[in-house]
Structure 1
C-alpha cells in the first residue's frame, strides 16, 4: 500500500492501480435520469445502495447532483487502498465540496495536501488523549444538566442528544462561556445542523439564495462566518456500526485510476461505503443484530468499522465523539431505565449529508 504523498501504484493485490491503469470500461450503474438518481440517493440510500451492490457488484457508479459521477466502493481492500493512497491523488477536500457553503473554504474538511496537513497539525493537540481527559468533567456536567431536566414518559432522544452535543461543542471546542455570544452561536449552530435536502439545493444555486429558506441559510452562514465505561464505549461503537451518522465518505481522484477492474476518470468521486461494509455479513456475523460484545477484546477486523472515515483524513474529533457519547449515555442510565416506544426497529432517513432516526429515536424513560 502506498504512503501519503507518494505517486507509486497501490499494492497489486488491492485491486487499486494508479500508474499502470489498463482498464478502459467504467463501472456499471443504474441508467435512471440524474435527477431520479439524486432523489433516490438523497432519500433512500440506505435501501437503494445494497440493491445496487447486489446487481452491479462492489464497484458501481451513480450520477447525482451536484457531484456529477461518483463511484461507490464496498470492497474492504479497495477502501483500504483509497484511505492509504497518496493524498495528491485522492482529494477528500474536493470530495467534501458540498459542505463549502456551511463550513467555509478554509475548513480542514475542505482542504487538501499540504494545506490540509498544516491545518490538521494545528488542531490535533486539542483532541489528543491529555486534552480529552481534561474535557471529561465539563461534558459530564453538561450531560447531567441536560438529563436532570427529563421527565418520565416518552422522549425524542435524538433531539435531546443533539442539544447536549451542540452544547458540548460550543463550550468545549469553541470555548464560549455563558452569555449573549453563546446564545447566538447556539442558535446559529442548531440552524446549520437542521438543514435539509431542499437547503442543499440552494447552497449551490446562487440565484435561489435571494428567496425564502435559502435566503435564511445565507444569512446564517454569514453570521456564523474503567469496565462501566469500556462497556458503554462498546455500546456506542456497535450503535455506530448499525447506524453510522454518514453513509459514506468521498474522495475526488485527480487522475485516472483503476479500481476493481474499472477505469475511474480524473475528476470523478469515489465513495467508500461505511454502511455497506458495516452491514456486510462477511465482516460482521448477524450484522443487523445489536451486539456490543463485538467491540470487547480485539474487536472487528481492521477496516470493517470506520464511521469516522480513515487514513490521514480520519475525523479529528473521533476520540471526542466516543468520549462524549459514553459519558452522556452513562449519565442517562444512572437516572433512567430506557425502552423503545415500539417493537419495530426505527428506520434511518437521510438529512443533508447525514443519516438520522426517522422518528427521532423515540424512547420511554422511567426513573431508576
Structure 2
C-alpha cells in the first residue's frame, strides 16, 4: 500500500466536511452510476464543500464543488499537494511520472516536458492527426450506428504512438498497439480503484495478475524503444515527444535518465489516451443530439471560420468534462469552505459540478456553445483540463485532436442520434458515455 493511503485519516465526521450516512458501498455505487446527479444532490444538501465515502478511500474524499474552493484546491499548493494524491495512479505510470511527482521535482520535470506541447511544434502534428482521422473514417461511415468512444480510443492511441513515441515502422507500431491497447483499457485501469488486497496478483484469473502482466509488457517495450532511440544519431532532427525529451536539459544541463523517461512516457500515454478519446466521443454525441448547434457549427466551418469550433469544444468540456475531478492531499490540518480537513485527507476539485453551477453558467444543463463567444468565465469556473501547476500538460494536444476530428468529420458527414442522449458513468476518474456515445453519420450531399 502506498504511503498516501497508509497515512490517510480514517473517517471521523467531526474532522471532515459533512457527508451522508449512506453506507460506503451505496455511495460508491451511486457515484459510479450517476456521478454528476449524485454530486449535485450532495451539493444541494450540504453546500459547496462536502465529503463522500467511496472506495478505494479509507476515510472520506473531500469535494470542492464551486469555483472558489475549486480554485483553492488547485492553486494553494502549500495546503493541498498533488504528488501523494496521484499515488493512486503510480502502479500504472510509475512514481517518477509528472502525474505523481511532488514539488520541487514536479516543477523541474514539467519544465522539461512543456516545450514539445507548445507553439509551432503542436501545429506540426495537425497533419498526422488529420491523416489518422481519414484512415478511420470508413469505420464511422459504415453501418446504421457506431459507438464513438471505441473509435476515438483507437485514434488517440495511434496519435500517441506517432506523436509521442515517434513510431514509423508499421510492424513496430502494431506491436506497441497490441500491448498498449489492453493496458490502457478502462477495465484494466479500474483495477487501481479496487481495495488494495484485490490489486495484488491473486492467481491466473485475478485482475491484479492481468494488470501486472500487461504493465510489464508495456514497460519492457518502452525501455527497448528508449535504449534504441538513444543510439540513433538523427533523433535531434525528429519532432516526436520522445526525441525532444532525449535532448531536453534543465538550467543545470541535466536531462531525464532512462527510468525517468520511462515513467514520463507512461504518464503521457495515460493522460493522452482515455480523456482525449472521451472528449471526442462526448462532443460528437452532444452535437448529434443538438441539431441547431450542430448545423450552426457546420455552417461556420464551411465559411472558413473556427470561431464556433473552439466554442463547441469548450461547451462539451463544460457539460461533460472527461475528467470528473482532480485529487490533491491536505499537507496539514486545514479548512475548506469553513469545514475542517485533516492532514493527509484526499481532496477533490469537482470539475463536473462546478461546470453545472447555475450562478456561473445560466441554464447549466443546456448545450449552448455560443455562451463561450463572449467574455471569459470566472477564473476556475471552467477547468476541463485541471488548473494550477498540475494542469494537464497535454491539453494543447488534446484540443488539437478534438478540433481536427470535428473539422474533418463535419466536412463530410452530419452526426445524428442513434438512440437517446446517453447518461455519464464514472470509470476511475473519467466521465464516459454509458453506451459509448452512439451516433449515426449521414454523408453530406
> Structure 1 length normalisation: TM-score?
0.87
Aligned equivalent of 1:346, options 422, 426, 443: 422
How far apart in 1 are the matches of 2:183 and 2:359?
37
Aligned to 1:301: 378
Aligned to 2:186: 195
How far apart in 1 are the matches of 2:64 and 2:88?
19
Aligned to 2:431: 355
How far apart in 1 are the matches of 2:63 and 2:193?
22
Aligned equivalent of 1:240, options 317, 320, 337: 317
How far apart in 2 are the matches of 1:202 and 1:351?
12
Aligned equivalent of 2:308, options 223, 226, 231: 231
Deviation of 1:355 (Å): 1.2
Deviation of 1:54 (Å): 1.0
Aligned to 2:98: 108
Tell me the SS of whatever aligns to 1:185. helix
Aligned to 2:338: 261
Aligned to 1:6: none
> 1:165-204 CA deviation, whole Å, 9 max, x = no partner?
1111111122122333321221333213323386235583
Aligned equivalent of 2:126, options 136, 153, 178: 136
**Runs of 4+, deviation exceeding 4 Å:** none
How far apart in 2 are the matches of 1:104 and 1:207?
16
How far apart in 2 are the matches of 1:289 and 1:150?
27
> 1:52-100 CA deviation, whole Å, 9 max, x = no partner?
11111111112222233210011211222222213x4322122122211
Deviation of 1:25 (Å): 5.5
Q: 1:105 to 1:203 in 2, by over 3 A?
A: farther
> 1:295-354 CA deviation, whole Å, 9 max, x = no partner?
224343321110101001100011111111000111111111111113x32111112221
Aligned to 1:210: 203
Aligned equivalent of 1:32, options 15, 22, 33: 22
Q: 1:49 to 1:211 in 2, by over 3 A?
A: farther
Is 257-266 or 299-308 further displaced after alignment? 299-308
Confirm or deny: 8 A CA contact 1:294 1:300 kept in the other structure. no
> Structure 2 length normalisation: TM-score?
0.73
RMSD: 2.0
Deviation of 1:149 (Å): 4.2
How far apart in 1 are the matches of 2:50 and 2:336?
10
How far apart in 1 are the matches of 2:196 and 2:30?
19
- The alignment status of 1:118 with 2:108, answered yes or no, reads yes
Aligned length: 343
Q: What runs of 5+ residues in structure 1 fail to find an aligned partner?
A: 1-23
Tell me the SS of whatever aligns to 1:26. coil
Q: What runs of 5+ residues in structure 2 fail to find an aligned partner?
A: 1-13, 220-300
Aligned to 1:146: 136
- The alignment status of 1:57 with 2:50, answered yes or no, reads no
Q: How does 1:56-95 map to 2 (within 5 A)?
A: 56-68=46-58, 69-86=60-77, 88-95=78-85
Confirm or deny: 8 A CA contact 2:34 2:424 kept in the other structure. no
How far apart in 1 are the matches of 2:123 and 2:108?
25
Aligned to 1:171: 162
Confirm or deny: 8 A CA contact 1:202 1:214 kept in the other structure. no
Aligned to 1:221: 215
